[in-house]
A and B are shown apart, each in its own frame.
Chain A
Amino acid sequence: MDLLEELEQIRDEIRLWTLKELDHLGFGHYGGSLSIVEALAVLYGDVMNVRPDQKEDPDRDFFILSKGHGGPALYATLAVKGFIDYEWLYTLNQNGTKLPSHPDRNLTPGVEMTTGSLGQGISVAAGVALSHKLAGRGSYTYTIVGDGELNEGQCWEAIQFAAHHKLSHLFVLVDDNKKQLDGLTVDICNPFDFVEKFRAFGFEAVRVDGSNMREIRQAILTGKKQTEKPVAIILDTLKGQGVPYLEEKADNHHLRPSKQDQAAIEEAIALLEKRATKEAVK
């Protein structure tokens, strides 16, 4: 199996389990969890140096999900990667769970940082990247921020800080899914051009198709050639990505599925399960 096929399998697994855990719970952040599945597949499936048996390795790469409401997708990824049991996914957001809606570093193996109050994870990622740079470590720090999250002033503080300190081993992936809770980002507080903004702030910045893992991976590999600037990769994504019904649904940030939604979600799950079986047979 070549790398891309392998990544496609990981992507499908992550998407399948993201849907299953949200479906089991009955509500949640479907939109913004599904839009980061491809990015997580590339990070955890290929480019990041992280292993469940070496959780404390000081030379590991760090991932911080600054847009903490994408937690369900991160948990699915951690299950696929072997950090947690798949069974845990059915406890998402249940009383006493180790998988709260927003990630908690003190509850879930593999979760590096507690996030959910938007704008904070990116600062923490900058702190980690600075620490590694000062220690002369070659490891990388990755964070995914939401396009809506970039409303937060703290993000731009962190972006200025990272550029000033030339944190070239920091990758900020922007999940540009065009929507935030109350509607389209362009209607609520126009972000204008993220690439131009990041460049103006001293980042290396590029826009890629966020559903295309080859493009995401290539952007990271190219970004790693940088020695002076942190790298922003704007992921052109869709809320509900990978599930056509959810992609098309207008109000898809947080969902408490109707009967019709439920049927479509279960259909998507069945489809992914069928694909997963086929892949397993292969």
Chain B
Amino acid sequence: MIQQELIQENELKEMRQVYAETLLELATKDSQVIALEADLMSAISTNKMKSKIPDQLINVGIMEANMMGVAAGLSLTGRIPFVHTFAQFATRRAFDQLFVSLGYAKLNVKILGSDAGVTAEHNGGTHMAFEDIGLMRLIPNATVYEASDSTMLKALLKQSYEEYGVHYIRTIRKKAVKLYSEGETFPKGKGKVLREGSDVALIASGIMTAEALKAAVELKKQGIEAMVIDMYSIKPIDSELLVEAAKQTGKVITIENHNVIGGLGSAVAETLGENYPVPIKRMGIREQFGQVGLTDYLKDYYQLTSEHIVKEVRAFL
């Protein structure tokens, strides 16, 4: 079941625990599954699995470029590598390796980019990826997801395991706001309508989905009906749903914890521009780098809270 109203509670489990547990489950079931880490095992909680699957969890050390190459070599021999590091290392640091040795070579790899955007918090500007989705979208045939809660993360990991190819899953490490009940499915190339509405469509992903829902609840009090879509599958994107939402509302706002160039906002604007042009506002990072700070502070700083969304909607209508 999809939660129509925002559940204010955080989940019981951190996203990193879900990653580690799902990986353990897959690795136990299939000896071809191998997890690669670049000295961030304890950050993503896979260190706790080491004794259970010693041969299927390799810490390569601080060498992301080599990690991508090793993943390619593992894939060449039929294995299914799951690679994790912080989003900026997984993408911009090792981009050519990812592009050539995995994408262009048409190999099979699952990449988890953690600490998405502002959730990199105290690691600051050097570690704050606002461009990872944009980079990954540029790799032909790569699949790009952003997970918004633990039910989704688990499902995306499992379906990426099932499907050959380059899959990138962007996530936060800590607790997300609970959005989905167990058993919910998240098909590739689809979005989830979390709330119907006819005045404006709010299209979000990751941690911004909960903010969009919160904004919709507030907007309803003000007499504005906002549709909310969790666009977890950023590539391929659900163009059918986007066109439908544009037809129903006539106005679209995208909200992302990412640069407005290259990410969700771009993907939505490109799709609607080609298929059903309507006025669009893109909320996200504009010509800025990251910085240190807590998530709440940074969300406010970059104008990504529900309050900012409400303000944006009112100005837009």
A123 touches B61 (CB 8 A): no
Contacts known (A114-B101, A114-B104, A160-B61); A131 close to B77, Cβ less than 8 A:
yes
Say whether A158 faces chain B, with CB atoms less than 8 Å apart.
yes
Q: Is the CB of B65 within 8 A of A157?
A: yes
Provide the bound-state CA to CA distance between A117 and B95, in Å.
12
Say what secondary structure dominates the interface of chain B: helix
Query: Is A233 located at the chain interface by the 8 A CB criterion?
Result: no
Q: Is A58 an interface residue (CB 8 A)?
A: yes
Cα distance, A72 to B282, chains bound together (Å): 49
Which residues of chain A come closer than 8 Å to B79, judged between CB atoms? 131
B-chain residues with CB within 8 Å of residue A62 when the two chains form the complex:
76
Q: A105-B105, A117-B96 are in contact. Are A160 and B72 (CB under 8 A)?
A: no
Contact: A120 with B100, CB < 8 Å?
yes
State whether the Cβ of A281 lies closer than 8 Å to any Cβ in chain B: no
Complex Cα–Cα for A129 and B55 (A)? 14
Chain A, 86-136, CB within 8 A of any chain B CB: 105-106, 112-114, 116-117, 119-132, 134-135
Distance, CA A132 to CA B79, complexed state (A): 11
**B 47-96 contacts with A by CB, 8 A:** 55, 58, 60-61, 63, 65-66, 68-79, 96
Given contacts A123-B72, A127-B76, A106 and B105 within 8 Å (CB-CB) = yes
Smallest CB separation, A86 vs chain B (Å): 26
* Contact call B58/A130, Cβ cutoff below 8 A: yes
How far apart sit A58 and B32, CA to CA, in the bound complex (Å)? 14
- A128 touching B73 in the complex, CB below 8 Å, given contacts A114-B104, A123-B97: yes
- 5 further A-B contacts with Cβ under 8 Å, apart from A106-B106, A127-B74, A127-B76, are A58-B77, A124-B70, A132-B77, A160-B61, A161-B60
The 7 closest A-B pairs by CB, nearest first: A127-B73, A123-B69, A157-B66, A127-B70, A157-B63, A114-B105, A131-B77
In the complex, 21 of the A-B residue pairs with CB atoms within 8 angstroms, ordered by the A residue number, are: A62-B76, A106-B105, A113-B105, A114-B104, A116-B100, A120-B72, A120-B97, A123-B65, A123-B68, A124-B70, A124-B76, A126-B70, A127-B69, A127-B71, A127-B77, A134-B55, A157-B66, A158-B69, A158-B70, A160-B63, A161-B66
